[in-house]
Structure 1
Amino acid sequence: MPLLSVVVPVHNVERYLRACLESVLVESSAEIEVVAVDDRSPDGSAGILREYASRDPRVRVVTLAQNVGLGRARNAGFALARGEYVWFVDSDDRLAEGAVGAVCARLRELRPEVLLVDHDRVYEDGAVERDASSPVLRGVDGVVSLDERPELLRLQHTAWNKIVAAELIRAHDLVFPAGWYEDFPFSHPVLLAAERIAVLDRVCYHYRRGRDGAITTSVSARHLEAVEQYRALWAGLAARGPRFRRHDGRLFRLMIDHCLAVMGNADRLPSRARRDFFRRVVLLYREHRPAGGYPRPGSLGRIKHELIRLGWYPAYAALRWAWRSSRTLRERRRGNPSAGAAAAVPAPRRSDHFDRREAAIGAGMDYGR
Structure 2
Amino acid sequence: MYRETWAEINLNHIRNNLKNIRESLPRKVKLMAVIKADGYGHGAAECARTAEQVGADTLAVAYLEEALHLRASGITLPILILTPIQPKHVMLALDHDLMLTVASASWFREMRVFKPYTSGKKIQVHVKVDTGLGRIGLQSMKDWDELVPWLKANDIVVDGFYTHFATAGKVDTTFLELQTKRFIDMMEWSKKSDIAIRHYHCAGSVAALRFPELAMDMVRIGAAMYGFYPGKLVSAVKLLPALSLHSKLIQVKKLYRGDYLGYDNMYQADKDQWIGTVPIGYADGWSQNMQHTEVLINGQRANVVGKICMDQLMVKLPGPCEVGTKVTLIGSQGDEQITFAELASHIGSVAQEISTSLTARITRSYINMEEAWIHWEKEKLSYKSKNAVI
TM-score bucket (shorter structure): under 0.3
The structure, 1 or 2, with the larger RCO (C-alpha pairs under 8 Å, 6+ apart) is: 2
TM-score, normalised relative to structure 1: 0.28
Which has a greater percent of helix?
1
Per the normalisation by structure 2, the TM-score is 0.27
- Computing the radius of gyration from Cα coordinates, the structure with the larger value is 2
Relative to its length, the structure with more strand (as a share) is 2
